[in-house]
């Protein structure tokens, strides 16, 4: 396949960027989107130009590093991560637009790389359980109802890639935050911090400059892991419950 790529090039967060056009030839339809970019980068290096910077790590759809917006869609036309997107979903002669995640909370570092540490700060505000770690506890020490385990597992699938924020017209992190809140709040291990977790994470989410939710549903459509839109309702339920209850033991 021969393709025309229009890629966002930006040398640093301080400098202005622009869409820049490149041609790539003889791309195999079996390549992943990242491998196609590797081919482009090899050529750019041989020509003495700067390669296109993009984030990637596992290349198997589990680390969440490889986010980019392809033809206006987070992770491109298929419901998967960019590393798992194959070139067979494009046609020979296509022009493909590639842009970084766009959100005030995700500043561009360079080209297609954005700084997603705002997500880490949301996690730091309660996306964990306070328990002594060490060797893994005996699996049956804490019984977990099947339904709770299923809900927790489904939401634990979130890889924090940021596609939800990139797809949302408001740059909102509600789907990401709801995945974490629902995951931990549905488990007995998460119960002691049930209220402080949701209050803390939502406050951190607002502080990082993410937008609010207008229930447009773009996030759930873009999510490569299929976190469903009603998860946001579940987080709202937890949030309003926590506000009604106040902090535990408060006098």
Partner 1 sequence: MALATRTAHPSALRTLWGSTIGKKTVMAGTGVIMLLFLIAHMLGNLKIFFGPGDFNSYAAWLRTIGQPVLHHSWYLWLQRTALVACVVLHGVAAYQLSRRDRAARPQRYAHRQPARGSYATRTMRWGGVILGLFIVWHILDLTTGTLNPRGEAGHPYEDIVADFQVWYVDLIYIAAMLALGLHIRHGFWSAAQTLGANSRTRDRALKAAANVLAAVLTAGFVLVPVAVMTGLVN
User: Where do contacts with ligand HEM occur on this chain (CB under 6 A)?
Assistant: 214-215
Using the rule CB under 8 A, is 226 a contact of partner 1? no
| Binding site partner of 202, from partner 1, ligand HEM, ligand FES, none, Cβ cut-off 5-8 A by kind | partner 1
Q: What is the dihedral of CA 148, 119, 200, 164, to 10 degrees?
A: -60
CB of 62 to ligand FES, least distance (A): 6
Residue 131, classified by CB atoms within 10 Å of its CB into exposed (0-12), middle (13-18) or buried (19+), is exposed
Distance CA 154, CA 148 (A): 10
| Binding site partner of 61, from ligand HEM, ligand FES, partner 1, none, Cβ cut-off 5-8 A by kind | ligand FES
SS3 content of the chain, % helix, strand, coil (to 5): 40, 15, 50
| Binding site partner of 206, from partner 1, ligand HEM, ligand FES, none, Cβ cut-off 5-8 A by kind | partner 1
Partnered with residue 74 across adjacent β-strands are 69
CB of 169 to ligand FES, least distance (A): 24
| Binding site partner of 250, from partner 1, ligand HEM, ligand FES, none, Cβ cut-off 5-8 A by kind | partner 1
Distance CA 70, CA 53 (A): 15
Piece of the chain touching partner 1 by CB under 8 A; list 43-51, 84-92, 119-127, 169-177:
169-177
């Amino acid at each position: 396949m021969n393709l025309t790529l229009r890629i966002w090039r930006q040398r640093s967060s301080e400098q202005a960027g622009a869409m820049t056009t490149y041609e790539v030839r003889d791309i195999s339809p079996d390549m992943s989107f990242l491998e196609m970019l590797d081919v482009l980068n090899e050529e750019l290096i041989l020509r003495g130009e700067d390669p296109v910077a993009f984030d990637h790590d596992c290349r198997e759809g589990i680390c969440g590093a490889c986010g980019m917006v392809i033809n206006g869609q987070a992770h491109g036309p298929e419901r998967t991560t960019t590393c798992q997107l194959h070139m067979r979903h494009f046609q020979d002669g296509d022009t493909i637009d590639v842009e970084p995640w766009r959100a005030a909370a995700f500043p561009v570092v360079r080209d297609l790389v954005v700084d997603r540490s705002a997500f880490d700060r949301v996690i730091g505000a309660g996306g964990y359980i306070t328990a002594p770690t060490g060797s893994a506890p005996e699996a049956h020490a804490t019984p977990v109802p099947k339904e709770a385990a299923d809900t927790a597992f489904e939401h634990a699938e979130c890889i924090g890639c940021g596609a939800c924020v990139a797809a949302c017209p408001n740059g909102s992190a509600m789907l990401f935050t709801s995945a974490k809140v629902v995951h931990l709040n549905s488990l007995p291990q998460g119960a002691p911090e049930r209220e402080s977790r949701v209050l803390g994470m939502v406050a951190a989410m607002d502080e990082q400059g993410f937008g609010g939710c207008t229930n447009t549903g773009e996030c759930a459509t873009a999510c490569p892991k299929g976190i469903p839109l009603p998860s946001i309702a579940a987080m709202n339920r937890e949030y309003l419950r926590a506000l009604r209850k106040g902090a535990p033991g408060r006098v």
